[in-house]
Amino acid sequence: MQTFLISTHRLQPLHRGHIHYWHLLVAQFKMPLIICILRNATRAPRADGSLTEFDKHSDFALQRSRNPLPNWERLQLVSLALKSDPILNDMVTPILRSPADAGWEQSIVDLPQNRLWAFNLGDEVEFATSKFTHYRSMGEKAVEVNYPRTLGFDGSKIREGVTKGRKDLEFLPDACHPYFAEQCLGYFGGTK
């Protein structure tokens, strides 16, 4: 049975650093890659009220202010980027996925059984480590990689710049520029 590599992202917004990271994953693992775009959601509280390190990092990452783009817009941006990339176009499938902390069973319902999760220690080391630990505790196969994903791109800085009127879209793959300008900018400026 074929194994699929899984990489999960918020993509708020997609940027060239993500594309670079996916290229590195495909080159290293030489297996089909599934990009899970996390749906905008909130964490399901634990029955005992406890918070794990993974929960704390996820709560911060899933804050509404850090996730202005709706699910559909992010899926469209990734689809456009992949179609224009001759390597990724053949190796990568994007899907929407519920966050693991919003309900584990719901988060894996659309994924193949034979999967290997990749978590990058090159950025946000504490969060990546907590993800790796959490997923392994759920019985999942997971690997840690350590290479620079962002190439200097930072989602927080991009969101702040776009919100303040940044017109330069060079952080995006070229194929995404028209769609982002027409469909996504309004989510940052409060007009959508």
Structure tokens, 78 = 């990734």
Angle at 136 between CA 131 and CA 141, to 5 degrees: 110
Confidence of residue 192 (pLDDT cuts 50, 70, 90): low
Number of domains in the chain: 1
Q: CA 71 to CA 5: how far, in whole Å?
A: 21
Identify the domain containing residue 134 by its residue range: 4-189
CATH code: domain of residue 146: 3.40.50.620
**pLDDT tens, position by position, 135-182:** 999 999 999 999 876 778 889 999 999 999 888 999 999 999 999 999
Rounded to the nearest integer, the mean pLDDT of the chain is 90
Q: What type of residue is 112?
A: P
Question: How far is the C-alpha of 182 from the C-alpha of 94, rounded, in Å?
Answer: 22
- pLDDT band of residue 50 (cuts 50, 70, 90) is confident
User: Which DSSP helix (H) or strand (E) runs through 61?
Assistant: helix 53-61
Contact present, 54 and 130 (Cβ < 8 Å): yes
CA angle 97, 54, 45 (to 5 degrees): 75
pTM: 0.89
Let me know: does 80 contact 107? Beta carbons within 8 Å. Answer: no
Asked if pLDDT for residue 55 goes beyond 90, the answer is no
Q: Could you give the count of Cα atoms lying within 13 Å of 44 in the half-sphere of its Cβ?
A: 12
Q: Please state the length of the chain.
A: 192
CA dihedral angle for residue 17, residue 95, residue 180, residue 83, rounded to 10 degrees: 80
